[in-house]
Structure 1
Amino acid sequence: MKFRNFKMVDYVVYGHGSFNQLDEIIAPHRKGDAPMIFLLDHFFENGAVTGDGKALVNRVPLRGKDKVIFADVTFEPKTTQVDKLAKQLKDEFGTVSGIIGIGGGSTLDLAKAVSLMMTNPGSSADYQGWDLVKVPGVYKVGIPTLSGTGAEVSRTTVLTGPTRKLGMNSDFTPFSQIVLDPELIANAPVNQRFYTGMDCYIHCIESLQGTYLNEFSKSYGEKALQLCQQIFLEKDSWDAECDEKLMMASFAGGMSIAYSQVGVAHAVSYGLSYLLGTKHGIGNCIVMNHLEPYYPAGVAEFKRMVEKNNIDIPVGICKGLTDEQFDTMINVSLGMKPLWENALGKDWEKIMTREKLRALYEKL
């Protein structure tokens, strides 16, 4: 048996106010006058503040030719968006010292992808799959302002391409550095915080019940699950402790799936995202609401979390779709073979037929 040699994030800094160290952290990685490019979630474009009450855009440590680019993540990153950004930077600067992504999971994925496309030829769509990237990207830093997706630690950058939604999964994808500062997630919108938190919770359910499970994944997954339960079931109000716990749940949840996989909820939500543009966190919640046959205890607990936190999960989003549209979602979903195998075993294709998947989509 051959074991996978798992690539992790190179450096991690954690703690309230750790964002203030960003200037000194990135200083050794500056190459001449080549700039650092800060991809900042467009949520912060109009002076949105972080937990310390200061506008985040004004805290970015710009030097020389450094540039802030506000990343429009209204929809999840597309290969066309990645290619356009990489071309823009190459045309303007030739090369850059690094890419620093500051925002939610979509912004972090965008930063990872742009870093890779600064050095790899062709389109990012050419690298959607497993281990297709052959050249390291430029230095890249991930700084989450939402927690739950695990994008800060994963070896993938999820992109919607011309024909599919699939990540650039490679050992060159993980960040060179991450900055985990709980102050940055303190003012996150309540619904958005819940949806990304549930992404983490669902990671744990899928990982811990998957056929790929091992003690490495189990150790991280159990801790992340415990933190999610404390935050979304045991706490009566949100406080700084919740921010700390959710940030570490996201980290541990991401680590758990790194050596295993996610499952049915993610596989089905990829189809929703590709066809309807449904954001990842809310898409997982929409699907999880209907997965009692696969994760009975997890779905029951998920519904308690939804009720306790007064969250409305959308329903009827697939109503009125055509056969062709259903087929598109089914094709995207069934293309996620490792996810289905983790969830249902090696004979998953006999279990999850197109008809059964169509019936599931019709319920959403």
Structure 2
Amino acid sequence: MFRKVAQLPLDYDLFKGKNSIFNWSPAGSVIFGNGSVARTGQEIKRLGGQKVVICTDEGLVKFGVVQKVTDSLEEAGVEYIVFDKCEANPSVETVEAVVELAKNVDMLIGVGGGSSIDPAKAAAILITNGGNIRDYEGCDVFKEPPLPVIAIPTAAGTGAETTPFAVITDVQKQWKMAIGGSYNIASLAICDPELTASLPPMFTAATGMDALTHAIEGYVSRALDPISEPILEQAIKLIAGALRRATFKGEYDKDSRYDMMLGSTLAGMGFTNTILGIAHSMAHPLGAMFHVPHGVGNAICLPVVMQFNMSANPEKTAAIAKLFGKDVSNMDLMEAAQVGVNCVFQLLEDLPIPPLSNWGVKESDIDKLAEEAMKGGDRWTNPRETTIDDFKALYVKCLKLKK
């Protein structure tokens, strides 16, 4: 018999500190380390699972990543069905397809990035709550605990394995929905850095910048709490030190892959409790309207947004410079903060991230993008208040970046 664990409502009150009462909802259990994917089957059996659906994509099946999971399931005697149609921005229709397959299973497994883990989470909600996934947009809307989800990330980026959100695209509305709740955290995350070893450079760079965006936006958030703060600092430090090596030497540099996976997982734990900022508000419509991969959108928006936010939280922005290894001890606060911003601009310049123009984004699209960005929930925890004109100006600056 497993003991009860409190499932608290998500708490995003602003300005948490020493004199505040706040909730901190940790992730589900985490198994971390090289080769840990081999434990999948035995852990599912330990949790009482007999039959599962695996949510993944065709590429991960083709390159043998999913077989490492299924080998473990077969060894443990766990039945499985593979759904390999998950797309980059998982849709309402994908969630519905998973639900159809998963009506008579005990658990769901998401193998991949957020594009595989998020539809698993969303389908798990529908299986126990019914209705349409559109019914559950927002925080703590669903009532019944979802079917258990096992999250196995294959990229160091989204942090979906440790967060209480599933982001699902409503193609009809060109809108990305966030469905959140503490019950929506995966029951178990199995984080095996070796699964990321064969990721190509651009994908490594984009997912890594996604993780860095989570860490930095959580760190400067107006909802930062004293528990998340050191977790996010460690995430920034790990990613800053490892992302270039993982991108360009990742096939044989196991240490960089390990640090990136750990940094991504920590970032997910941290921003679960702080929410994010307007880089995410801007990246979501880029994905919904132009299919810009989420990590690419975040990578381009992050340094531009940091420059915009710098004066609202210079202390934390200056601290980011230190976490990147820069000596700012003899600088005044704003000068040190600018170094923090410059570190991220330089990182973007060094990485193989394609510009927004490659995805068909034009200046004539900015008004619509800004309107959609204004709807983003992450706007409320951003360090600086943002108007629609601010978003328009920020998108112009992002479009002018060549990389």
Q: How does 1:90-169 map to 2 (within 5 A)?
A: 90=103, 95-161=104-170, 162-163=172-173, 164-169=175-180
- The total of aligned residue pairs comes to 344
What residue is the counterpart of 2:322 in the other structure? none
What residue is the counterpart of 1:59 in the other structure? 71
What residue is the counterpart of 2:186 in the other structure? 175
Q: TM-score, normalised by structure 2?
A: 0.78
Counterpart code for 1:300: N
Counterpart code for 2:309: Y
Quote the Cα distance in structure 2 between the aligned partners of 1:136 and 1:76: 25
Quote the Cα distance in structure 2 between the aligned partners of 1:298 and 1:110: 35
What residue is the counterpart of 1:213 in the other structure? 224
1:342 to 381, 384, 387: 381
Question: Does structure 1 residue 19 correspond to structure 2 residue 37?
Answer: yes
Question: Does structure 1 residue 358 correspond to structure 2 residue 399?
Answer: no
Q: For the Cα contact (< 8 Å) 2:223–2:275, is it kept in 1?
A: yes
Counterpart code for 1:335: K
The gaps in structure 2 that reach 5 residues or longer are 1-18, 311-337
Q: For the Cα contact (< 8 Å) 1:158–1:165, is it kept in 2?
A: yes
What residue is the counterpart of 1:228 in the other structure? 239
Counterpart code for 1:266: H
Question: Does structure 1 residue 44 correspond to structure 2 residue 86?
Answer: no
What residue is the counterpart of 2:354 in the other structure? 313
Q: CA deviation at 1:151?
A: 0.8
Change (3 A) 1:3 1:160: farther
The gaps in structure 1 that reach 5 residues or longer are none
Counterpart code for 1:84: A
Change (3 A) 1:293 1:326: closer
Question: What SS does structure 1 have at the residue aligned with 2:73?
Answer: coil
Change (3 A) 1:170 1:3: farther
Q: For the Cα contact (< 8 Å) 1:44–1:57, is it kept in 2?
A: no
Q: For the Cα contact (< 8 Å) 1:274–1:329, is it kept in 2?
A: no
Quote the Cα distance in structure 2 between the aligned partners of 1:157 and 1:290: 26
1:89 to 102, 105, 111: 102
Question: Does structure 1 residue 294 correspond to structure 2 residue 306?
Answer: no
Q: CA deviation at 1:56?
A: 3.8
Quote the Cα distance in structure 1 between the aligned partners of 2:124 and 2:94: 13
Quote the Cα distance in structure 1 between the aligned partners of 2:22 and 2:176: 24
Q: CA deviation at 1:138?
A: 1.0
Q: For the Cα contact (< 8 Å) 1:233–1:304, is it kept in 2?
A: no
Q: CA deviation at 1:361?
A: 2.4
Q: Deviations over 1:96-147 (max 9, x none)?
A: 1100111112111111111111111211111111111111111110001101
Identity over aligned pairs, percent: 25
Quote the Cα distance in structure 1 between the aligned partners of 2:20 and 2:91: 34
Q: CA deviation at 1:30?
A: 4.0
Question: What SS does structure 2 have at the residue aligned with 1:102?
Answer: strand
Q: Deviations over 1:291-331 (max 9, x none)?
A: 3222454442123223444x243143565465xx5454333
- Determine which structure has the larger helix proportion and give its number: 2
Quote the Cα distance in structure 1 between the aligned partners of 2:296 and 2:211: 12
1:333 to 361, 373, 381: 373
Q: CA deviation at 1:68?
A: 1.4
Q: For the Cα contact (< 8 Å) 1:149–1:200, is it kept in 2?
A: yes
Q: For the Cα contact (< 8 Å) 2:40–2:69, is it kept in 1?
A: no
Change (3 A) 1:22 1:56: closer
Quote the Cα distance in structure 2 between the aligned partners of 1:298 and 1:203: 16
Quote the Cα distance in structure 2 between the aligned partners of 1:15 and 1:287: 31
After superposing the two structures, state which structure 1 stretch, 203-212 or 260-269, moved more.
203-212
Q: CA deviation at 1:170?
A: 0.6
Q: For the Cα contact (< 8 Å) 1:217–1:257, is it kept in 2?
A: yes
Quote the Cα distance in structure 2 between the aligned partners of 1:65 and 1:209: 44
Counterpart code for 2:114: G
Counterpart code for 2:277: G
